[in-house]
Structure 1
Amino acid sequence: MSYQKIVVGTDGSKSSMLAVERAAELAAAFNATLIIGCAYYENKEEASKTLRQDSVTILGDDIAQKNLDAAADHARAAGASEVETAIRPGTPVQALMSIVNDNKADLLIVGNRGINSLTGRLLGSVPADVARQSDCDVMIVHTVK
Structure 2
Amino acid sequence: MEFKKILVPVDGSETAEKAFKVGLDMAIKHNAELFLLYVADMNDAAYPVLQVTLDENGFISMRKKAEEVLSNLKAQIPVGTRLTALVKIGDPGRVITSLAEDNNIDMIIMGSRGRGAISSFIMGSVSQYVLGHVKCPVMVIR
TM bucket (normalised to shorter chain) is: 0.7 to 0.9
Superposed, 1:84-103 pairs within 5 Å as 84-103=84-103
The AA in structure 1 aligned to 2:9 is: G
| Secondary structure, aligned partner of 1:71 | helix
How many positions carry a matched residue from both structures?
A: 127
The structure whose RCO (Cα within 8 Å, separation 6+) is larger is: 2
Distance, in Å, in 1 between the alignment partners of 2:96 and 2:73 is 15
Distance, in Å, in 1 between the alignment partners of 2:9 and 2:94 is 11
Q: Unaligned 5+ residue runs, structure 2?
A: 50-58
Distance, in Å, in 2 between the alignment partners of 1:14 and 1:73 is 17
Partner in structure 1 of residue 112 of structure 2: 112
| Secondary structure, aligned partner of 2:88 | strand
The AA in structure 2 aligned to 1:68 is: L
Distance, in Å, in 2 between the alignment partners of 1:136 and 1:6 is 10
The AA in structure 2 aligned to 1:95 is: V
| Secondary structure, aligned partner of 1:98 | helix
Q: Unaligned 5+ residue runs, structure 1?
A: 51-57
Q: Which runs of 4+ in 1 moved over 6 A?
A: none
Distance of aligned partners of 1:127 and 1:68 in 2 relative to their CA distance in 1, 3 Å threshold: same
Does the aligned pair in 2 maintain the 1:34–1:80 contact within 8 Å? no
Distance of aligned partners of 1:30 and 1:71 in 2 relative to their CA distance in 1, 3 Å threshold: same
| Secondary structure, aligned partner of 2:75 | helix
Deviates more, 1:65-74 or 1:129-138: 65-74
Distance of aligned partners of 1:42 and 1:6 in 2 relative to their CA distance in 1, 3 Å threshold: same
**Structure having the larger proportion of residues in helix:** 2
Structure 1 residue 42, shift from structure 2 partner: 5.3
- TM-score, with structure 1 as normaliser: 0.73
Does the aligned pair in 2 maintain the 1:38–1:95 contact within 8 Å? no
Structure 1 residue 80, shift from structure 2 partner: 7.7
Partner in structure 2 of residue 126 of structure 1: 126
- TM-score, with structure 2 as normaliser: 0.75
